[in-house]
């Protein structure tokens, strides 16, 4: 039986977080997707998710999941390398590679697991990983899991990344890793300069396009397309189906030699059960919808501009300059929590983001826009922020 003092230690740690305004709790919303949800018995406008294209409740995705489950069953029963790889997995991977203009692709159960696989499956103890200081937690964890030597460069500073790559000597692999769109700040990585730094120093580059796939670029292919970059050998794209594409799962799209390397050594592929047929079918149909319904992407960016302009006109500090992620900066964690509570009271659900998710003193309300929203929703959000500020800080 666990010694009582151990539970006392956990209780004290929880209380310390609560006093610092950093306590967390799970909030039930229902339904879990769409523009509006019910939170704590109150009907609210949801501006906290990542359903950028509004596909989570798309009838075609629901139908794809239903048909696949009915035909192929609820699960795969084994890992991809044991007996879990199905025809649907390989067909999806062919479509991902075509979508991202790469030689090959590999599908994983979640986006988090994809980053763990991509980085720890390629880099090891003899290698060097150079990572942006604001990269997602899954990238940070993947770097640590790889046991490679890790160097962190200041956020979105390609010159410093290049300096580190040039200065750090290694007998093994060099890997430069960056988010394509940074999830808390909403800004885009300076990919052309970063790729030049990687190329000149003989490094591979991993771009996590979780918040860009389906959203950025003329055809929704992501940040490479936005910057008019052509996929090249050594340029590895990571993505997810759980955000703009409305489902669940992640992928790596890259050269065949990269994919083969991951099949050999990516632990999240080797030691977890394969994604179920319904998940695979939803992912495949979502790729089709990016091309079939481009109006969703146009509407998303139009609504994002409307909301950003409205908030700035009212005097709010919005950290990002474009796109559907709008971090409204508040400062101290306690103030951000108070703001989020007031917003909820006024019918807007957008939780506070606090340390360790964001740096100390940079707590914020991370507002996100979806193509499922309307202009009226956006205007309501601006009004809700005005009312919350007046209640709390006037």
Give the residue numbers marked as catalytic: 183, 211, 243
Q: Which residues contact 160 (CB under 8 A, 6 or more apart)?
A: 153, 154
What CA–CA distance (Å, rounded) separates 214 from 111? 15
322 — alpha (psi -120 to 50), left (phi > 0) or beta?
A: beta
The full DSSP string for 321-385 is: SSSSEEEEEEESHHHHHHHHHHHHHTTEE--EE-TTTS-TT-EEEEEE--TT--HHHHHHHHHHH
If DSSP codes are grouped into helix, strand and coil, which group holds residue 92?
Answer: helix
From CA 302, how far away is CA 73, in angstroms rounded? 40
Nearest to 89 by CA among 288, 290, 274, 291: 274
| Full DSSP string of 192-207 | HHHHHHHHHTT-EEEE
Residue 270 CB contacts under 8 Å (≥ 6 apart), including other chains: 79, 80, 81
Which residues face 352 on adjacent strands?
365
Sign of CA dihedral 61, 67, 73, 74: positive
CA distance 273 to 276: 9
Distance of CA 202 to the CA centre of its chain: 27
Classify strands 250-254 and 104-108 as parallel, antiparallel or unpaired: antiparallel
Euclidean distance between CA atoms 89 and 275, whole angstroms:
8
Contact predicate 385/311, CB 8 Å: yes
């Amino acid at each position: 039986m666990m010694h009582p003092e151990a539970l006392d230690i956990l209780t004290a740690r929880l209380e310390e977080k609560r006093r610092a305004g950093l306590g967390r709790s799970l909030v039930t919303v229902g339904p879990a997707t769409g523009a509006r949800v019910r939170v704590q018995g109150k009907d609210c406008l949801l501006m906290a998710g990542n359903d950028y294209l509004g596909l989570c409740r798309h009838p075609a995705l629901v139908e794809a999941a239903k048909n696949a489950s009915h035909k192929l069953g609820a699960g795969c029963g084994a890992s991809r390398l044991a007996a879990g790889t199905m025809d649907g997995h390989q067909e999806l991977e062919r479509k991902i590679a075509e979508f991202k203009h790469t030689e090959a692709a590999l599908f994983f159960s979640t986006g988090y697991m994809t980053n763990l696989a991509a980085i720890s499956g390629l880099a090891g103890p003899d290698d060097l990983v150079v990572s942006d200081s604001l990269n997602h937690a899954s990238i940070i964890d993947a770097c640590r899991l790889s046991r490679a030597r890790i160097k962190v460069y200041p956020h979105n500073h390609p010159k410093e990344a290049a300096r580190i790559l040039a200065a750090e000597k290694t007998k093994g692999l060099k890997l430069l890793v960056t988010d394509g769109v940074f999830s808390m700040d909403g800004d885009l990585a300076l990919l052309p300069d970063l790729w030049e730094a990687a190329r000149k120093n003989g490094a591979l580059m991993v771009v996590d396009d979780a918040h860009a796939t389906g959203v950025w670029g003329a055809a929704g292919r992501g940040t490479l397309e936005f910057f008019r970059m052509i996929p090249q050998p050594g340029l590895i794209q990571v993505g997810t189906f759980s955000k703009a594409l409305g489902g669940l799962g992640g992928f790596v799209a890259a050269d065949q030699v990269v994919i083969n390397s991951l099949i050999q050594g990516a632990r999240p592929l080797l030691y977890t059960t394969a994604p179920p047929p319904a998940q695979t079918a939803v992912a495949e149909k979502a790729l089709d919808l990016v091309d079939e319904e481009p109006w969703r992407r146009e509407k998303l960016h139009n609504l994002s501009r409307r909301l950003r302009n409205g908030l700035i006109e009212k005097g709010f500090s919005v950290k990002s300059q474009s796109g559907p992620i709008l971090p409204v900066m508040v400062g101290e964690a306690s103030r951000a929590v108070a703001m989020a509570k007031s917003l909820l009271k006024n019918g807007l659900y957008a939780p506070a983001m606090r340390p360790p998710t964001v740096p100390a003193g940079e707590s914020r309300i991370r507002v996100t826009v979806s193509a499922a929203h309307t202009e009226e929703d956006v205007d309501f959000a601006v009004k809700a922020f005005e009312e919350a500020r007046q209640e709390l800080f006037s």
